[in-house]
Structure 1
Amino acid sequence: MENRYDRYKDSGIAWIGVIPEHWEVRKGKNIFKKEERPVRDFDEIVTCFRNGEVTLRSNRRIDGFTNAVKEIGYQGVRKGDLVIHNMDAFAGAIGVSDSDGKSTPVYSICTPRNDTEANTYYYAYLLRSYALGGVIQSLAKGIRERSTDFRYKEFGELFYQQPPLAEQQAIADYLDRRCSEIDELIALQEEMITKLQSYKQSVITEAVTRGLDKNVPLKDSGIDWIGKIPEHWNCTAFKRLLLEPMQYGANEPAEECDYNNPRYIRITDIKEDRTLRDDTFKSLPLEKAKDYILSKGDLLFARSGATVGKTFLYNEDNAACFAGYLIKAKCNKKKLVPNFVFYYTLSNIYQNWKNSIFIQSTIQNIGADKYSSMPIIVPPLAEQQAIADYLDQRCSEIDELIALKQQKIEKLKEYKKSLIFECVTGKRKVS
């Protein structure tokens, strides 16, 4: 490894291993003390996030947060404090506050016992590195019954590396700079993924609303949010193209995992790329599943919650049934190609329709009645198939590009994680 120190020694702590010869090892309670400051009237709430950011809640838009009626046990936080989320530290919720404010008792607020011995930014990097590497969780199992509970008492009893203060500062500064550069590269890849996803949606929308012939005459569809469509296409209610009324899924809890029984598909099983998760497999006994068995080409629509409108095209070889928060549509394949409809639900036109439904209701819920009445553009059957085949090819190409970007992001994240670990533990010398 490049930039190693000249000499190393055994730290005397099995899970720490060797450290640079001039570094020390000390318990957390001998490096930091826990603060218990009073709260001031003007203090705003400080929140610690899993990415290590510690900032005022007002600095970030956070859905789902509500202020407590009584702020019991709140404590003062100052800029530069080391903040540890007692219940979420294992996931990386450790950092240095960028603001003065107040926090709930779920946080341990720590400051150095001696400013000439400890740099909070270095120790934030060190603690987060151990947390994301599973060290805190594995060690905490032997300390408390709850493996994710990491209060000041636990923090204080563990041993940590202690380089000279100037070296701590140099490591923190180096990591700030390098991590910022890596984060910029990650953000660039994420921006490119967003653009590719937007382009993919535009390709889908263009194909399902205008077809593959750019010179075909157009006509007004009669619906504002659809606009013009090819002259020989029709626009009708979805229910007129189905073999049977749309069906709600089984109202059964997901309990067993028996691969000999039909898979029980729930909203949470459907990933953003519209494939099924492998790690959430649940099944239903055939007796309970028999009325909800899926056939190839069946479409599932999510009917409520944050995922309302999400769709899934069932083309699996293994038997499956579906849960109550999903609604099944069985296309009349003499009139409608299921894959064409699936792509239709990925288009901007479908999003426009969903938005028009939500405008009419304060609750984001789309039932079978609304899905059945959904206007849908209908090309001739052969043209539907040609469009679906074309989109299979084009979307596959775009998805491959997206996958490459995602792989780059994962490699960058792994490199960042490795770089931090090597620097804070003395495996790499920062000059």
Structure 2
Amino acid sequence: MNEELCFIKTYNLGDIAKFTYGFTDKAADVGTVRFIRITDIDEYGCLRTTPAKYIDITKENKDFLIEPGDLLMARTGATFGKTVSIPDGTKGIYASFLIKIQPDNSKLMNRYYWFFAQSSMYWQQANALVTTGGQPQFNANSLAKIRISVPSIEYQKAIISVLNKFDSLCNDLSEGLPAEIEARKKQYEYYRDKLLDFKEKEA
């Protein structure tokens, strides 16, 4: 493969992404858009469909609207560090215990970062950077220190294509013994980490 495509740079996430805290309000059973909270992120970094809460769009919260492909991370509690990529067909307002991650897409694609945020390379760092106390806290200052190795955009696209297929296969598993399903998920996690694990090179 072309050396330029494979060229890797390693960054602190804070150097190639912006972070924005969410909006403080009360969730309701009805509203014009979904109100996304930290409890809406499942263990696989996916958005739970139930129990969904809602909110009306106002001039105070319209800057906190999210769209498909946006990245949100839980910054506190048992779900700290978990990152969700907003799925197609979903719009909403994100709550205050979430951080919106906005990568510089000339360097880092949203979907590539989402896969990285599920990997062991990410979680080893997150667990070391989290502040413990009454509740775990993983704020923007800690998130900014995450180290991520980034190949070219074309190479990121190739990795995303492969991992999307693995991810879709694992999520579509509805039949089979639990042991078989678990083995398939472990296989996916193994290859995901292999594809994302690059030797560190300073930017």
Q: Same fold (TM over 0.5)?
A: yes
Other-structure match for 1:249: 22
Closer/same/farther in 2, CA of residues 263 and 400 from structure 1, 3 Å limit: closer
TM-score (norm. length: structure 2): 0.76
Q: Which amino acid aligns with 1:284?
A: I
Does residue 397 of the first structure (1) align with residue 169 of the second (2)? yes
SS of the residue corresponding to residue 115 of structure 2 reads helix
Higher relative contact order (CA 8 A, sep 6+): 2
Q: Which amino acid aligns with 1:378?
A: V
The 2-side partners of 1:376 and 1:402 are apart by 33
The 1-side partners of 2:26 and 2:36 are apart by 11
Q: Which amino acid aligns with 1:296?
A: P
Other-structure match for 1:239: 14
Closer/same/farther in 2, CA of residues 356 and 231 from structure 1, 3 Å limit: farther
Closer/same/farther in 2, CA of residues 246 and 384 from structure 1, 3 Å limit: same
Closer/same/farther in 2, CA of residues 273 and 405 from structure 1, 3 Å limit: farther
The 1-side partners of 2:175 and 2:158 are apart by 25
Contact 1:249 1:327 in 2 (8 A): yes
Q: Which amino acid aligns with 1:356?
A: A
Other-structure match for 1:381: 153
Other-structure match for 1:127: none
TM-score (norm. length: structure 1): 0.38
**Sequence identity of aligned pairs in percent?**
28
Shift of 1:335: 1.7
Other-structure match for 2:120: 348
Q: Which amino acid aligns with 1:320?
A: G
Compute the RMSD of aligned alpha carbons.
Answer: 2.6
Q: Which amino acid aligns with 1:236?
A: Y
Contact 1:263 1:283 in 2 (8 A): yes
Shift of 1:402: 7.0
The 2-side partners of 1:402 and 1:378 are apart by 34
Shift of 1:239: 2.3
The 1-side partners of 2:158 and 2:97 are apart by 32
Other-structure match for 2:74: 302
The 2-side partners of 1:236 and 1:343 are apart by 16
SS of the residue corresponding to residue 84 of structure 2 reads strand
Closer/same/farther in 2, CA of residues 309 and 403 from structure 1, 3 Å limit: farther
Contact 1:309 1:366 in 2 (8 A): yes
State the number of aligned residues. Answer: 176
Q: Which amino acid aligns with 1:252?
A: D
Shift of 1:349: 0.1
Shift of 1:329: 0.7
Tell me, which stretches of 5 or more residues in structure 1 are unaligned?
A: 1-212, 217-229, 410-431
Closer/same/farther in 2, CA of residues 231 and 316 from structure 1, 3 Å limit: closer
Cα shift readout 1:156-211 (whole Å, capped 9, x = no counterpart): xxxxxxxxxxxxxxxxxxxxxxxxxxxxxxxxxxxxxxxxxxxxxxxxxxxxxxxx
Contact 2:47 2:86 in 1 (8 A): no
Shift of 1:401: 4.4
Shift of 1:397: 2.5
The 2-side partners of 1:282 and 1:312 are apart by 17
Other-structure match for 1:290: 62
Other-structure match for 1:417: none
Contact 1:238 1:372 in 2 (8 A): yes
SS of the residue corresponding to residue 330 of structure 1 reads strand
Contact 2:6 2:155 in 1 (8 A): no
Tell me, which stretches of 5 or more residues in structure 2 are unaligned?
A: 182-203
Shift of 1:307: 0.7
Does residue 267 of the first structure (1) align with residue 45 of the second (2)? no
The 2-side partners of 1:302 and 1:403 are apart by 31
**Segments of 4+ moved more than 6 angstroms:** none
Shift of 1:319: 2.2
Closer/same/farther in 2, CA of residues 346 and 240 from structure 1, 3 Å limit: same
Contact 2:71 2:114 in 1 (8 A): yes
Other-structure match for 1:362: 132
The 2-side partners of 1:403 and 1:276 are apart by 22
Q: Which amino acid aligns with 2:47?
A: L
The 2-side partners of 1:343 and 1:371 are apart by 16
Other-structure match for 1:323: 95
Q: Which amino acid aligns with 2:140?
A: A
The 2-side partners of 1:398 and 1:318 are apart by 22
Contact 1:266 1:323 in 2 (8 A): yes
SS of the residue corresponding to residue 317 of structure 1 reads coil
Bigger radius of gyration among the two: 1
Other-structure match for 1:110: none
Shift of 1:231: 7.2
